[in-house]
């Protein structure tokens, strides 16, 4: 039997343990989460097992999807690198960032509102590595001074690690850039843990952007795999699509890039590049576990645009069909009660939603009046949409390929204004639930008239925002060019006054 003094000691020790455990619980709850934002380049959803392709090997991405939530209706609002990255950084549509290859750079004032800058202001350690993809107006250098650790590069960057001065120290161990970003991540995670400061790490992989240069150490991964063509593959499945969509470089690239006659080999190389990304993601997650911070680190994985890969007889991206605009998105918040429940979200989400989502997950406030909406409510209830519609636009490349459109939870409406080369202005309507491959233009089917009219109204509403909110004069012309009721004669006049890109 214990002496009374021993009982007291046991009781005291129990009480201390209780206080200790509630304190550590409280500390855990109050502790700011870390954020890791992983962005690939030109990655189609068909490169991932968790998006339904059982011919590819993406065990680490599939595990991330299993642990977190996978989004099946996630769109970029402009399907080309520079504009899309500005959208992601800021939560703004392209006509509000004013940023694309031929229209302009991002102003310092808008950059200051970007998610990495907001995290830094809030006391986070921040890091960026890989393809930065945008330029800050009137600045000769990339904004390395805005990050605590910098491994970024200008332009398209390079698959050779040694070609990026900020990443050179990793070149000997990781000559191919994809895995060098995992090494950079490990170093940054390590430093942040040592300093005991929450961090926001952004990695922009060059993969799977062309030129096709996968890491040779994975050359055998798909050497015997025969990839199946998707149902909407080939020119025969693009006959119904707008003539305007066939006037850009996407059309010849079906043949030039080998989708027409060497599909399997092209896809072996393409998927091999994503295999490298998958290995890097696995290495980053293992480092989080090694440091004991995996339960407090949110991981977001997505791409700046998709890739057509032969769908409808196109190659490349930009034009607003599903393979180009709908991209992978996984959000894994290990703190959330729905994590690990294999949930898929079928609600509409957009690239502009990611910045406000990351900020809210960290308990920070997003800038006011941005276009993006936080996706945090979807983590609780994936079936309850946070947005009714989203604009999808392309103002880049030949004017004939410019398009503006709107997507909802069930439908996509696109408008191509150009009537050059004897084309007619074209409307397209796709029933995304019944026809995810966009094999039928439902705009000219009488039974869809009510839907068509509703989508037109929604389109007009979205288009009006350009007039209200465009930050550069060059974007204001689109309000009239995409006006369904303006005559082609008026539009030609606008085009005559506008310098051609
Ligand atoms: Ca891209």
Helix (H) or strand (E) holding 481: helix 473-481
pLDDT of residue 285: 98
Q: What is the mean pLDDT of residues 212-227?
A: 98
pLDDT for 267-323, tens place per residue? 999 999 999 999 999 999 999 999 999 999 999 999 999 999 999 999 999 999 999
DSSP state, residue 426: E
Residue 212, helix vs strand vs coil:
coil
Instruction: Tell me, in angstroms, the distance from the centre of ligand 1 to residue 79's CA.
Output: 7
Instruction: Tell me, in angstroms, the distance from the centre of ligand 1 to residue 337's CA.
Output: 33
Do β-strands 329-332 and 69-71 pair in parallel, antiparallel, or remain unpaired?
A: antiparallel
Upper half-sphere CA count for residue 209 (Cβ side, 13 Å): 22
Dihedral Cα 268, 173, 332, 219, nearest 10 deg: 10
Instruction: Tell me, in angstroms, the distance from the centre of ligand 1 to residue 318's CA.
Output: 9
Instruction: Tell me, in angstroms, the distance from the centre of ligand 1 to residue 208's CA.
Output: 9
> Which pLDDT band holds residue 28 (cuts at 50, 70, 90)?
very low
Instruction: Tell me, in angstroms, the distance from the centre of ligand 1 to residue 180's CA.
Output: 20
> Which candidate, 138, 61, 19, places its Cα nearest to that of 329?
61
DSSP state, residue 435: -
Task: Note the helical H segments in 227-370.
Answer: 253-256, 263-290, 322-325, 354-361
Instruction: Tell me, in angstroms, the distance from the centre of ligand 1 to residue 212's CA.
Output: 14
Is residue 9 over pLDDT 80? Answer: no
The span from the CA of 287 to the CA of 314, in Å, is 40
The span from the CA of 300 to the CA of 203, in Å, is 10
The span from the CA of 99 to the CA of 470, in Å, is 11
pLDDT of residue 499: 62
Q: What is the mean pLDDT of residues 123-152?
A: 97
CATH T-level assignment (fold) for domain 393-497: Arylsulfatase, C-terminal domain (3.30.1120)
Specify which residues 40 forms β-bridges with.
303
Q: What is the mean pLDDT of residues 17-30?
A: 45
463 Cβ neighbours under 8 A, 6+ residues apart: 404, 478, 479, 482, 483
Is residue 16 over pLDDT 90? Answer: no
| CATH architecture, range 33-376 | 3-Layer(aba) Sandwich (3.40)
Instruction: Tell me, in angstroms, the distance from the centre of ligand 1 to residue 240's CA.
Output: 26
Instruction: Tell me, in angstroms, the distance from the centre of ligand 1 to residue 169's CA.
Output: 26
Instruction: Tell me, in angstroms, the distance from the centre of ligand 1 to residue 476's CA.
Output: 25
pLDDT of residue 485: 95
Verdict on whether the full-model pTM lies above 0.85: yes
C-beta atoms surrounding 69 within 10 Å: 23
Is residue 196 over pLDDT 50? Answer: yes
pLDDT for 266-280, tens place per residue? 999 999 999 999 999
Q: How far is CA 195 from the centre of its chain?
A: 30
pLDDT of residue 44: 97
Instruction: Tell me, in angstroms, the distance from the centre of ligand 1 to residue 306's CA.
Output: 7
- Measured between alpha carbons, how far apart are the two ends of the chain, in Å? 91
> Which candidate, 353, 358, 349, 355, places its Cα nearest to that of 326?
349
The span from the CA of 452 to the CA of 433, in Å, is 15
pLDDT of residue 473: 87
pLDDT for 419-452, tens place per residue? 998 899 999 999 999 999 999 999 999 999 999 9
pLDDT of residue 498: 76
pLDDT for 177-190, tens place per residue? 999 999 999 999 99
Q: What percent of the chain has pLDDT over 90?
A: 91
Phi first, then psi, for residue 409 (nearest 5°) are -65, -20
Q: What is the mean pLDDT of residues 153-168?
A: 96
Instruction: Tell me, in angstroms, the distance from the centre of ligand 1 to residue 207's CA.
Output: 9
Instruction: Tell me, in angstroms, the distance from the centre of ligand 1 to residue 19's CA.
Output: 51
Instruction: Tell me, in angstroms, the distance from the centre of ligand 1 to residue 184's CA.
Output: 22
> Which pLDDT band holds residue 23 (cuts at 50, 70, 90)?
very low
Instruction: Tell me, in angstroms, the distance from the centre of ligand 1 to residue 483's CA.
Output: 28
Instruction: Tell me, in angstroms, the distance from the centre of ligand 1 to residue 210's CA.
Output: 9
Instruction: Tell me, in angstroms, the distance from the centre of ligand 1 to residue 445's CA.
Output: 34
Q: Are 211 and 44 within 8 A, CB to CB?
A: no
The span from the CA of 100 to the CA of 78, in Å, is 10
> Which pLDDT band holds residue 479 (cuts at 50, 70, 90)?
very high
pLDDT of residue 30: 61
Instruction: Tell me, in angstroms, the distance from the centre of ligand 1 to residue 500's CA.
Output: 23
Instruction: Tell me, in angstroms, the distance from the centre of ligand 1 to residue 254's CA.
Output: 17
What are the boundaries of each domain within the chain? 33-376, 393-497
The span from the CA of 388 to the CA of 386, in Å, is 7
Is residue 2 over pLDDT 80? Answer: no
Instruction: Tell me, in angstroms, the distance from the centre of ligand 1 to residue 125's CA.
Output: 27
Instruction: Tell me, in angstroms, the distance from the centre of ligand 1 to residue 416's CA.
Output: 22
The span from the CA of 332 to the CA of 339, in Å, is 7
Instruction: Tell me, in angstroms, the distance from the centre of ligand 1 to residue 305's CA.
Output: 5
Instruction: Tell me, in angstroms, the distance from the centre of ligand 1 to residue 82's CA.
Output: 8
The span from the CA of 101 to the CA of 86, in Å, is 11
Helix (H) or strand (E) holding 18: helix 4-30
The span from the CA of 482 to the CA of 399, in Å, is 12
Instruction: Tell me, in angstroms, the distance from the centre of ligand 1 to residue 5's CA.
Output: 71
The span from the CA of 283 to the CA of 281, in Å, is 5
Mean of pLDDT over the chain: 94
pLDDT of residue 294: 98
Q: What percent of the chain has pLDDT over 70?
A: 93
DSSP state, residue 326: B
Instruction: Tell me, in angstroms, the distance from the centre of ligand 1 to residue 494's CA.
Output: 30
């Amino acid at each position: 039997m214990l002496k009374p003094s021993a009982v007291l000691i046991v009781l005291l020790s129990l009480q201390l343990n209780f206080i200790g455990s509630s304190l550590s619980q409280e500390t855990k709850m109050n502790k700011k989460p870390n954020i890791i934002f992983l962005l690939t380049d030109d990655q189609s959803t068909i490169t991932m097992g968790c998006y339904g392709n059982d011919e590819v090997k993406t065990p680490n991405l599939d595990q991330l999807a299993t642990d977190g939530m996978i989004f099946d209706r996630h769109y970029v609002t402009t399907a080309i690198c520079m504009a899309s990255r500005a959208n992601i950084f800021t939560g703004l549509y392209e006509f509000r960032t004013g940023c694309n290859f031929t229209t302009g750079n991002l102003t310092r004032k808008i950059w200051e509102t970007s998610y990495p800058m907001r995290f830094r202001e809030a006391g986070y350690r921040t890091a960026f590595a890989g393809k930065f993809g945008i330029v800050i107006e009137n600045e000769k250098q990339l904004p390395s001074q805005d990050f605590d650790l910098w491994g970024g590069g200008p332009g398209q960057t390079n698959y050779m690690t040694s070609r990026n001065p900020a990443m050179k120290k990793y070149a000997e161990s990781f000559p191919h850039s994809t895995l060098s970003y995992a090494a950079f991540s490990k170093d940054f995670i390590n430093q942040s843990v040592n300093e005991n400061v929450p961090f926001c790490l952004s990695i922009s992989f060059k993969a799977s952007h062309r030129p096709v240069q996968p890491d040779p150490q994975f050359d055998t991964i798909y050497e015997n795999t025969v990839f199946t063509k998707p149902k909407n593959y080939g020119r025969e499945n693009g006959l119904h699509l707008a003539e305007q969509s066939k006037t850009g470089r996407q059309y010849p690239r079906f043949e030039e890039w080998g989708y027409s006659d060497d599909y399997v080999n092209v896809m072996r190389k393409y998927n091999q590049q994503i295999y490298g990304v998958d290995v890097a993601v696995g290495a980053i997650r293992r480092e989080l576990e090694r440091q004991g911070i995996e339960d407090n680190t949110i991981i977001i994985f997505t791409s700046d645009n998709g890739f057509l890969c032969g769908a409808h007889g196109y190659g490349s991206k930009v034009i607003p069909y599903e393979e180009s605009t709908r991209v992978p998105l996984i959000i894994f918040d290990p703190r959330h009660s729905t994590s690990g429940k294999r949930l898929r979200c079928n609600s509409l989400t957009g690239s502009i939603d990611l910045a406000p989502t990351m900020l809210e997950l960290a308990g920070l406030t997003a800038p006011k009046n941005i276009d993006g909406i936080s996706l945090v409510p979807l983590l609780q209830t994936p079936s309850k949409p946070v947005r009714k519609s989203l604009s999808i636009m392309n103002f880049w490349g030949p004017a004939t390929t410019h398009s503006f459109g709107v997507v909802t939870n069930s439908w996509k409406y696109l408008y191509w204004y150009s009537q050059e080369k004897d084309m007619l202005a074209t409307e397209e309507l796709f029933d995304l639930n019944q026809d995810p491959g966009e094999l039928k233009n439902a705009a000219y089917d009488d039974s869809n008239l009510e839907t068509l009219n509703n989508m037109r109204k929604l389109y007009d509403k979205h288009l009006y925002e350009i007039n209200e909110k465009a930050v550069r004069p060059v974007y204001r012309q689109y309000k009239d060019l995409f006006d369904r009721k303006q005559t082609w004669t008026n539009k030609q006049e606008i085009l005559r006054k506008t310098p051609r890109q």
